[in-house]
Amino acid sequence: MNERTEPGWYEQIAGFTLSTLGKASDCVRLGFERGFDSGEMMDAIYADRASGRWLIGPLVDRIYLDQPGCRGLRARKNLVLATLEGLIARQRSAGRGPVIVDVAAGPATYLVELLAKDRGDDITALARDRDPRALERGQRLAVDAGVADRLRYEQGDALDEESLLGLDPPPSIVIASGFYELLLDESVIARSMAIARRMLSRGDPLVFTTQVAHPQVAMMAVVPAHDGRPWIIRNRPLATIEAMARAAGFGEVASEMEPVGIFAVSVAR
């Protein structure tokens, strides 16, 4: 069955409703102000607390937060965390101190949570992103959680091969969480994977996420992304993205779907 990606009359009406009445919802208003794909919006979705203006605001907020995409994002974060915990345990059992690098981290909320739970002083993490606002917000979260000594924030481009290959110490785990879903050009994804392969020692993992089966792709196109343009996104077959990882030089790729069935978390070695 062909996937419908262009907004129809239903999506246009729903988009108009969101841009007017929907702004009573704190989440929806944030989406129009900062972008529905922004780090601030992701944090609001992860928090899953309905709020808003007047009596209708919290109700609209709850409806939004209960949409399949929002539930999938929360489930994706949980699966990423569980995956990282397993990889960290594996490296520790081999006598290694894990060094994590997220190449397009935003505020890296999940890394803050990971390090707040794991108090081991043998693990360090670097969150890189181009957006200084996201990095500043992440730094505040890290300080508040007491993990700023192990989680460092740095402005940088996810495709800046020279700076990524020059990291010291080099990573033992590279992450691209919520990054490839935003990219329509698969050559950019392939380039990112190739850089990650060169960053890692043979057998060390790249963890990445993929949007496989979002049911509201046409609806997303009527709301703005962080750059003010329509939020255009598409589903990508898991076999396609796994094949891209193998083409980048990873010999083994294993994927798991989160329970909502929208996102996959893959580990390539």
Assess whether 152 and 256 both reside in one domain: yes
For residues 55 and 96, membership in a common domain is answered with no
Q: Residue 205 contacts by C-beta under 8 Å, 6 or more apart in sequence?
A: 87, 173, 174, 267, 268, 269
Tell me, yes or no, whether 112 lies in a domain: yes
Q: Are residues 13 and 127 located together in one domain of the fold?
A: no
Residues 14 and 138 in one domain: no
Q: Are residues 175 and 136 part of one domain? A: yes
User: Is residue 2 in some structural domain?
Assistant: no
User: Coil, helix or strand for 173?
Assistant: strand
Q: Does position 171 have pLDDT exceeding 60, yes or no?
A: yes
The rounded distance, in Å, linking the Cα atoms of 106 and 101 is 12
Q: Are residues 24 and 97 in the same domain?
A: no
* Domain interval for residue 262: 69-268
Task: For residues 32-42, give the mean pLDDT.
Answer: 92
Q: What does the alpha-carbon distance between residue 215 and residue 53 come to, in Å, rounded to a whole number?
A: 28
Count of positions (residues) in the chain: 269
Structural domain contains residue 23? yes
Distance from C-alpha of 103 to C-alpha of 114, rounded to nearest angstrom: 17
Q: 129 and 56 in one domain?
A: no
Say yes or no: 40 and 112 in one domain: no
Q: Are residues 146 and 24 in the same domain?
A: no
| 23 lies in the same domain as 92 | no
SS3 at position 162: helix
Binning pLDDT at 50, 70 and 90, where does residue 1 land?
A: very low
Task: Report pLDDT for 42.
Answer: 92
Q: Which amino acid is at 245?
A: A
Looking at the domain assignment, is residue 162 inside a domain? yes
Longest distance between any two alpha carbons in the chain, whole Å: 58
Domain endpoint, select from 67, 85, 105 = 67
The answer to whether 126 and 154 are in contact (CB under 8 A) is yes
Chosen domain end from 49, 67, 85: 67
Asked if residue 1 belongs to a domain, the reply is no
Do 233 and 222 form a contact (C-beta atoms < 8 A)? no
User: Average pLDDT, whole number, for the chain?
Assistant: 94
Q: Are 180 and 237 in contact (CB under 8 A)?
A: no
Q: How many domains does the chain have?
A: 2
Residues 185 and 195 in one domain: yes
Domain identity same for 172 and 212? yes
- Classify residue 2 as exposed, middle or buried by CB count within 10 Å of its CB (0-12, 13-18, 19+): exposed
Is omega for the bond preceding 169 within 30 degrees of 0, making it cis? Answer: yes
* Residue (of 154, 160, 165) closest to 199 by Cα position: 165
Last residue of one domain, picked from the residues 67, 85, 100: 67
Average pLDDT over residues 131-142: 94
CATH code, 165 = 3.40.50.150
Q: Quick one: pLDDT band at residue 6, thresholds 50, 70, 90? A: confident
pTM of the model: 0.93
